[in-house]
Amino acid sequence: MTKEINTQEFYISQIKTTKEIINTFSATKEFSPTMLINSLLSLVVLPFEQAKKTNGKKIFPGKYSDLEKKLGFSPLIFQPIKSCNSKKTVYYYKTIYAYINKFRNGIAHQNLSVSVDENKEIRITIFNVYNKNCKNCKSKNCINKGLNYSPKGIVDFKITVTVKQLQKIALYIADSYLKAIS
């Protein structure tokens, strides 16, 4: 006979297990960027979608500058677009929630690339493309903010991190979820 668990118990278990995988395997040869990205998918897609149904801003409250200090690194681009029409672009406030949302979108939509630098250190670039109405956009606002057009739309978030830095983001996300729902 199987025991049914509620949704919250499932997410708590899933987040704790993912966190344990990251902590256990990060110092071993078996740990790879692929395993970390899979762990991040588990953290930023499943629970994030559930959190959005209630209020994800409660899980990731605060100013982006506080997160930047905590992590010790920042994205190359972080101008989170909320909406855009041919005359005006509206941006989200730079909050932790907006950061995690754009980060999540980049991973969920497979907007990432992996490279190895001259010191054989792996670097992972994750970016978000805002693509609603961007093909016909006449607004210079995005260009003035330093954003670039891509064939799919406007890149409004881009971060390049090492595996250790990506691990730090993953653990931050896991701890935030657990703190909010436990």
Is the alpha carbon torsion for 60, 13, 70, 145 positive or negative? Answer: negative
Q: Give the pLDDT of residue 9.
A: 78
Helix (H, G, I), strand (E, B) or coil at 28: coil
Question: In this model, does residue 79 exceed pLDDT 80?
Answer: yes
The tens digit of pLDDT for each residue in 113-159 reads 988 888 888 899 999 998 876 655 656 667 777 777 777 888 899 99
| One-letter amino acid for residue 22 of the chain | I
DSSP notation for 83-106: EE-SS-EEE---BHHHHHHHHHHH
